Amino acid sequence: TQLLEQSPQFLSIQEGENLTVYCNSSSVFSSLQWYRQEPGEGPVLLVTVVTGGEVKKLKRLTFQFGDARKDSSLHITAAQPGDTGLYLCAGARTGNQFYFGTGTSLTVIP
Amino acid sequence: DTAVSQTPKYLVTQMGNDKSIKCEQNLGHDTMYWYKQDSKKFLKIMFSYNNKELIINETVPNRFSPKSPDKAHLNLHINSLELGDSAVYFCASSHIARETQYFGPGTRLLVL
Protein backbone atom coordinates (compact mmCIF):
# COMPACT_ATOMS: atom_id res chain seq x y z
CA THR A 1 0.00 0.00 0.00
CA GLN A 2 1.43 3.35 -1.09
CA LEU A 3 1.08 6.50 0.98
CA LEU A 4 -0.25 8.48 -1.99
CA GLU A 5 -2.62 6.84 -4.45
CA GLN A 6 -3.28 8.43 -7.80
CA SER A 7 -6.23 7.79 -10.05
CA PRO A 8 -6.63 6.97 -12.77
CA GLN A 9 -3.43 5.05 -13.40
CA PHE A 10 -3.77 5.37 -17.16
CA LEU A 11 -5.73 7.91 -19.17
CA SER A 12 -6.03 8.20 -22.94
CA ILE A 13 -8.12 11.07 -24.30
CA GLN A 14 -8.68 13.04 -27.47
CA GLU A 15 -7.17 16.45 -27.97
CA GLY A 16 -9.48 19.16 -26.64
CA GLU A 17 -11.05 17.08 -23.88
CA ASN A 18 -10.88 17.93 -20.18
CA LEU A 19 -9.53 15.61 -17.50
CA THR A 20 -8.92 15.40 -13.77
CA VAL A 21 -6.24 13.41 -11.96
CA TYR A 22 -6.60 12.69 -8.26
CA CYS A 23 -3.98 12.20 -5.59
CA ASN A 24 -5.30 10.80 -2.31
CA SER A 25 -3.87 9.90 1.06
CA SER A 26 -4.96 9.35 4.64
CA SER A 27 -1.91 11.30 5.82
CA VAL A 28 -1.44 15.05 6.22
CA PHE A 29 1.33 16.79 4.28
CA SER A 30 3.00 20.14 4.79
CA SER A 31 2.92 20.70 1.04
CA LEU A 32 2.08 18.82 -2.09
CA GLN A 33 3.76 18.98 -5.44
CA TRP A 34 2.88 17.92 -8.95
CA TYR A 35 5.53 16.80 -11.40
CA ARG A 36 5.40 15.81 -15.05
CA GLN A 37 7.82 13.26 -16.42
CA GLU A 38 8.37 12.77 -20.13
CA PRO A 39 9.88 9.57 -21.55
CA GLY A 40 13.62 9.36 -20.97
CA GLU A 41 13.67 12.35 -18.65
CA GLY A 42 13.47 13.08 -14.96
CA PRO A 43 10.35 14.52 -13.31
CA VAL A 44 9.94 18.28 -13.64
CA LEU A 45 8.09 20.31 -11.02
CA LEU A 46 4.83 21.91 -12.18
CA VAL A 47 3.52 23.42 -8.97
CA THR A 48 3.69 23.35 -5.18
CA VAL A 49 0.60 23.89 -3.04
CA VAL A 50 0.99 24.63 0.64
CA THR A 51 -2.25 25.88 2.15
CA GLY A 52 -5.32 23.71 2.63
CA GLY A 53 -7.90 24.61 -0.01
CA GLU A 54 -5.33 26.40 -2.14
CA VAL A 55 -5.94 26.59 -5.87
CA LYS A 56 -3.20 27.36 -8.36
CA LYS A 57 -3.47 27.79 -12.11
CA LEU A 58 -0.77 27.22 -14.66
CA LYS A 59 -2.22 28.08 -18.07
CA ARG A 60 -4.68 25.23 -18.78
CA LEU A 61 -3.72 23.31 -15.61
CA THR A 62 -5.55 23.87 -12.32
CA PHE A 63 -4.20 22.38 -9.10
CA GLN A 64 -6.08 22.16 -5.83
CA PHE A 65 -4.92 21.13 -2.38
CA GLY A 66 -7.57 19.56 -0.18
CA ASP A 67 -8.82 21.47 2.86
CA ALA A 68 -7.31 18.89 5.19
CA ARG A 69 -4.05 18.78 3.21
CA LYS A 70 -4.43 15.06 2.55
CA ASP A 71 -5.32 15.09 -1.11
CA SER A 72 -4.98 17.07 -4.31
CA SER A 73 -6.32 17.23 -7.83
CA LEU A 74 -4.99 18.30 -11.18
CA HIS A 75 -7.46 19.43 -13.83
CA ILE A 76 -6.42 19.99 -17.43
CA THR A 77 -8.68 21.96 -19.72
CA ALA A 78 -8.63 21.36 -23.48
CA ALA A 79 -5.80 18.85 -23.36
CA GLN A 80 -3.08 19.10 -25.99
CA PRO A 81 -0.71 16.38 -27.28
CA GLY A 82 2.09 18.24 -25.49
CA ASP A 83 0.39 17.40 -22.18
CA THR A 84 1.23 13.73 -22.73
CA GLY A 85 3.40 12.36 -19.97
CA LEU A 86 3.51 10.78 -16.53
CA TYR A 87 2.01 12.97 -13.83
CA LEU A 88 3.29 12.43 -10.31
CA CYS A 89 2.11 13.97 -7.09
CA ALA A 90 4.47 14.13 -4.13
CA GLY A 91 3.68 14.95 -0.53
CA ALA A 92 6.24 16.57 1.71
CA ARG A 93 6.62 16.08 5.42
CA THR A 94 9.00 17.70 7.86
CA GLY A 95 12.65 16.86 7.45
CA ASN A 96 12.53 16.92 3.66
CA GLN A 97 10.77 13.56 3.46
CA PHE A 98 8.96 13.18 0.17
CA TYR A 99 6.47 10.51 -0.80
CA PHE A 100 5.59 10.13 -4.44
CA GLY A 101 2.24 9.00 -5.72
CA THR A 102 1.64 5.96 -7.87
CA GLY A 103 1.58 8.06 -11.06
CA THR A 104 -0.91 8.76 -13.84
CA SER A 105 0.16 8.12 -17.41
CA LEU A 106 -1.66 10.52 -19.73
CA THR A 107 -1.83 10.18 -23.50
CA VAL A 108 -3.48 12.91 -25.53
CA ILE A 109 -4.36 11.75 -29.03
CA PRO A 110 -4.23 14.41 -31.77
CA ASP B 1 24.22 24.99 -17.16
CA THR B 2 22.82 21.60 -16.18
CA ALA B 3 21.32 21.81 -12.70
CA VAL B 4 21.47 18.13 -11.70
CA SER B 5 23.62 15.80 -13.77
CA GLN B 6 24.08 12.05 -13.61
CA THR B 7 26.58 9.73 -15.23
CA PRO B 8 26.31 7.39 -16.93
CA LYS B 9 22.92 7.74 -18.63
CA TYR B 10 22.89 4.05 -19.58
CA LEU B 11 24.53 1.18 -17.75
CA VAL B 12 24.40 -2.43 -18.92
CA THR B 13 26.23 -4.97 -16.82
CA GLN B 14 26.33 -8.59 -15.75
CA MET B 15 24.94 -10.02 -12.53
CA GLY B 16 27.46 -9.98 -9.72
CA ASN B 17 29.34 -6.92 -10.93
CA ASP B 18 29.90 -3.76 -8.89
CA LYS B 19 28.99 -0.40 -10.43
CA SER B 20 28.76 3.26 -9.45
CA ILE B 21 26.51 6.10 -10.57
CA LYS B 22 27.61 9.67 -10.07
CA CYS B 23 25.46 12.71 -9.36
CA GLU B 24 26.34 16.39 -9.19
CA GLN B 25 24.22 19.47 -8.61
CA ASN B 26 25.23 23.08 -9.17
CA LEU B 27 22.17 24.64 -7.53
CA GLY B 28 23.78 25.23 -4.17
CA HIS B 29 21.28 22.88 -2.52
CA ASP B 30 22.10 21.21 0.75
CA THR B 31 19.97 18.08 0.35
CA MET B 32 20.38 15.34 -2.23
CA TYR B 33 18.44 12.15 -2.91
CA TRP B 34 18.53 8.88 -4.77
CA TYR B 35 15.31 7.39 -6.13
CA LYS B 36 14.58 4.14 -7.92
CA GLN B 37 11.85 4.06 -10.57
CA ASP B 38 10.62 0.60 -11.40
CA SER B 39 9.03 -0.75 -14.56
CA LYS B 40 5.62 0.45 -13.32
CA LYS B 41 7.01 4.00 -13.08
CA PHE B 42 6.71 4.09 -9.31
CA LEU B 43 9.30 6.44 -7.83
CA LYS B 44 10.62 5.29 -4.47
CA ILE B 45 13.13 7.15 -2.35
CA MET B 46 16.26 5.22 -1.41
CA PHE B 47 18.47 7.71 0.38
CA SER B 48 18.59 11.34 1.36
CA TYR B 49 21.65 13.32 2.41
CA ASN B 50 21.70 16.74 4.04
CA ASN B 51 25.03 18.53 4.20
CA LYS B 52 26.84 15.24 3.53
CA GLU B 53 25.00 13.44 6.32
CA LEU B 54 22.55 10.61 5.80
CA ILE B 55 19.05 11.59 6.93
CA ILE B 56 16.84 9.05 5.14
CA ASN B 57 17.70 5.44 4.47
CA GLU B 58 14.69 3.51 3.33
CA THR B 59 14.64 -0.26 3.28
CA VAL B 60 17.33 -0.77 0.70
CA PRO B 61 19.70 -3.78 0.51
CA ASN B 62 23.07 -3.00 2.01
CA ARG B 63 24.58 -3.73 -1.40
CA PHE B 64 23.62 -0.11 -2.12
CA SER B 65 25.93 2.41 -0.53
CA PRO B 66 25.64 6.16 -1.09
CA LYS B 67 28.67 8.37 -0.73
CA SER B 68 28.66 12.15 -0.45
CA PRO B 69 32.15 13.65 -0.74
CA ASP B 70 30.70 17.17 -0.54
CA LYS B 71 27.35 18.96 -0.65
CA ALA B 72 27.30 19.06 -4.44
CA HIS B 73 27.85 15.34 -5.01
CA LEU B 74 26.02 12.17 -4.06
CA ASN B 75 27.25 8.99 -5.66
CA LEU B 76 25.62 5.57 -5.53
CA HIS B 77 27.70 2.41 -5.42
CA ILE B 78 26.04 -0.95 -5.96
CA ASN B 79 27.77 -4.23 -5.10
CA SER B 80 26.93 -7.68 -6.45
CA LEU B 81 24.30 -6.48 -8.88
CA GLU B 82 21.14 -8.59 -9.22
CA LEU B 83 18.54 -8.84 -11.98
CA GLY B 84 16.01 -7.05 -9.76
CA ASP B 85 18.26 -4.00 -9.60
CA SER B 86 17.36 -3.20 -13.20
CA ALA B 87 15.52 0.12 -13.09
CA VAL B 88 15.97 3.82 -13.69
CA TYR B 89 17.83 5.59 -10.88
CA PHE B 90 17.24 9.29 -10.36
CA CYS B 91 19.28 11.73 -8.38
CA ALA B 92 17.56 14.86 -7.06
CA SER B 93 18.39 17.84 -4.92
CA SER B 94 16.51 20.44 -2.91
CA HIS B 95 17.01 23.31 -0.54
CA ILE B 96 15.81 21.98 2.78
CA ALA B 97 13.65 25.00 3.48
CA ARG B 98 11.89 25.08 0.10
CA GLU B 99 10.93 21.42 -0.35
CA THR B 100 11.14 21.60 -4.16
CA GLN B 101 13.18 18.86 -5.76
CA TYR B 102 15.11 19.08 -8.99
CA PHE B 103 15.78 15.80 -10.73
CA GLY B 104 18.60 14.60 -12.89
CA PRO B 105 17.96 12.87 -16.23
CA GLY B 106 18.21 9.38 -14.76
CA THR B 107 20.52 6.39 -15.17
CA ARG B 108 19.01 3.39 -16.91
CA LEU B 109 20.53 0.29 -15.34
CA LEU B 110 20.08 -3.08 -16.98
CA VAL B 111 21.47 -6.13 -15.25
CA LEU B 112 21.83 -9.20 -17.48
pLDDT in tens, A21-31: 999 999 999 88
Q: What is the pLDDT of residue B41?
A: 86
pLDDT at B2 > cutoff 80: no
pLDDT in tens, B50-80: 877 787 777 788 899 999 988 899 999 999 9
Q: Which residues of chain A have a CB within 8 Å of the CB of B92?
A: 42
Sign of CA dihedral B93, B96, B97, B99: positive
Per-residue three-class SS string for chain B: CCCEEEECCEEEECCCCCEEEEEEECCCCCEEEEEEECCCCCEEEEEEEECCEEEEECCCCCCEEEEEEECCEEEEEECCCCHHHCEEEEEEEECCCCCCEEECCCEEEEEC
Chain A positions in Cβ-Cβ contact with residue B100 (cut-off 8 Å): 33, 45, 48
Q: Do A100 and B96 touch (CB under 8 A)?
A: no
The shortest C-alpha distance from A35 to chain B (Å) reads: 10
Q: Which residue of B has its CA nearest to A86?
A: B41
* Chain B residues within 8 Å of chain A (Cβ atoms): 4, 31, 33, 35, 40-45, 48, 50, 55-56, 90, 92, 94, 96, 99-106
Bridge partner list, B22 = B7
Measured between CB atoms, does A98 come within 8 Å of chain B? yes
- For chain A, the average pLDDT equals 93
Q: pLDDT tens digit string along A30-72?
A: 889 999 999 889 999 999 999 999 999 999 999 999 999 999 9
Interface probe with B: pick from A3, A35, A96, A97, most Cβ of B within 10 Å: A96
**Per-residue pLDDT tens for B14-58?**
999 999 999 999 999 988 999 999 988 889 889 888 877 787 777
Report the SS3 class of residue A84: coil
